[in-house]
Amino acid sequence: MILNDLRIMTLLDWLENDCLLTVAHCEPASNDASFRRYFRVTIEDKTFIAMDAPPDKENIVPFMHIANLFKQADVNTPTVLQHNLDDGFILLEDFGSQWLLDALNDQTATEFYHRALQGLLPLHTHENLLNANLPAYDEALLRREMALFEDWFSEQLLDIELPQNLWEDVQRILIDSALEQPVVCVHRDYHSRNLMVLPNGELGVLDFQDAVLGALTYDIVSLLRDCYIDWSDEKIDTWLHDYFKQLKAAKVVDIDFAQFKRWFDLMGIQRHLKAIGIFARLHLRDNKSDYLKSIPRTLNYVVQVCGAYRELHAFQQFLKQQILPHWQKQSLLLLR
């Protein structure tokens, strides 16, 4: 056990003295991009996940609220077994340690993505979620997220100032596209490192506490244009079209596929700009530099998709002429 950490000692004390559980073993379960930590604890020959969310940095109330909402909508999330709001501890069902990312290959991808997209249907159709009192994914939030790219990646990591007229035009295009989409429940991090392959082959959903009500395509693009693994355009278009037909059948959308694909593409640019900024912040602020390895794939998504839309060609050229050369020089030092 890890006994030189006051938070862990307090966590174990809560489990044993307040919850009356006998903890035989405790070990780190996973790393996280937030201040939360997860530990796998063994209790009576069964394993569980203990979340440590320091109250001065993380609030577990949204986690509890969303967990309850998702359970009611039959979203496959881990059951909350015990919680301590004052200290920021939660004891959860253990979904194991096999990320979807680790199970994906050319032979398994189509079946797993079918299951993952089916897992999104409740978020896009269930009335309890659509009517839930969740924060709005509005213009202010969309702008705050894109500001991460400007602040942390462009300015702090690369020392490049974005041309403000160009940057405002790009943000306006992406925001308008997001806000014209049907409003659904958005997980906000629905990708291969937050989906677990369970022993029965089903997928379990993690890291859902930041759910909001917003654009239909956000979680779809998070999954299909994942920052941690990429697929051919042909595969993505096939999976996207199959899911589009299900959304049409469920009367979630009443548009043609070309419009849906535009929503998907532009939503992806917004998400990937945000993700690049977060990866830079994790490196610069939190000393979590492994996330830098995902910037090339994520930045490549932005450059490629901008090339498909005339109104984004100027931004694509700026990325090619200014951002990419500076990033390539920096990455030679950072990713050695």
pTM over 0.85: yes
Q: Residues 8-13: contacts with CB within 8 Å, 24+ apart?
A: 8/39, 8/52, 10/87, 10/89, 11/39, 11/50, 11/52, 11/87, 11/89
C-alpha to C-alpha distance for 163 and 323, rounded to whole angstroms: 12
C-alpha to C-alpha distance for 158 and 295, rounded to whole angstroms: 13
- Given a contact cutoff of 8 angstroms between Cβ atoms, the answer to whether 125 and 252 are in contact is yes
pLDDT of residue 230: 96
pLDDT of residue 1: 46
Amino acid in position 214: G
Q: In the numeric block, which tokens belong to residue 35?
A: 């201040």
- Averaged pLDDT, groups of 10, the chain, 336 residues long: 75 93 89 79 93 91 92 94 94 95 97 97 93 94 98 97 98 98 97 96 94 98 98 98 97 97 98 98 94 96 98 98 95 81
SS3 201: coil
C-alpha to C-alpha distance for 130 and 122, rounded to whole angstroms: 10
SS3 12: helix
pLDDT of residue 258: 97
